[in-house]
Amino acid sequence: MAEESGVAARTVYAIFGTKKAILAAICEEWLTEAGVMETVAEGLKERHLRRRLALVAHSSRRQWESERGVRSMLEGAAASDAEVARMLAGWKSDRARSLHGIVAGVEGDLRGGLDGKRAGAIIRALTSAEIYSELVAGEGWSPDEYEEWLGGLLSDLLLSDQA
């Protein structure tokens, strides 16, 4: 980061403080650029689960297409820094809670035999960075194709026929 900015590493640490603070700032910028928080807020206001799931697909696409190596940087830093590891674990927990919250209040729209906890787990698994990377980078899908596929798959898997 210091090299790309044309400053000494100690200048970066003087501004941000710790490695954890630097990484937190990078992640904040990434998620802001991707519009993740705004899309999540919009989705939670939406009353129809089908539309919420489309917004989840859009948010997932935007998050992973704008990631630019931040995840691998975080994982690498977490492997050698306990503070960063705790921060990353907290973020993953927050993401899981947020994705489980997608179905809150609209459980009646879920497919028979499916509860909110299981639906949230399915959403979390299918919106993972690994699936995005496998399809877009690995298989050559466009981000648009990924978003359309994910939104359709989530609806097919989770929604009752009446929703």
Tell me if 77 is assigned to some domain: yes
Tell me if 114 is assigned to some domain: yes
Which domain range does residue 56 map to? Answer: 36-158
Question: Could you tell me which of 129, 140, 139 has the C-alpha nearest to residue 65?
Answer: 129
Tell me if 100 is assigned to some domain: yes
Residues 6 or more apart from 62 whose CB is under 8 A from it? 34, 35, 36, 39
Tell me if 97 is assigned to some domain: yes
Tell me if 153 is assigned to some domain: yes
CA 21 to CA 117: how far, in whole Å? 33
CA distances (Å), origin 82, targets 9, 55, 60, 144: 21, 34, 27, 37
pLDDT at 114 (0 to 100): 94
Residue 10 structure tokens? 């100690």
| pTM (two decimals) | 0.80
**Residue that is written with structure tokens 């917004």 in the block:** 55
Burial code (b: 16+ CB inside 10 Å, e: under 16) for 63-75 equals: bbebbeebbebbe
Tell me if 163 is assigned to some domain: no
The tens-digit pLDDT sequence of the chain (163 residues) is 445 545 344 544 445 567 777 788 877 887 888 788 888 788 778 888 999 999 999 999 999 998 888 888 888 888 998 988 998 899 899 889 988 888 988 899 999 999 999 999 999 999 999 999 999 999 999 999 999 999 999 999 999 988 6
Q: What average pLDDT does the structure give for the chain?
A: 86
Tell me if 74 is assigned to some domain: yes
Tell me if 132 is assigned to some domain: yes
Q: What is the tally of structural domains in the chain?
A: 1
> How far does the chain reach from its first CA to its final CA, in angstroms?
48
pLDDT at 12 (0 to 100): 44
CA 54 to CA 20: how far, in whole Å? 33
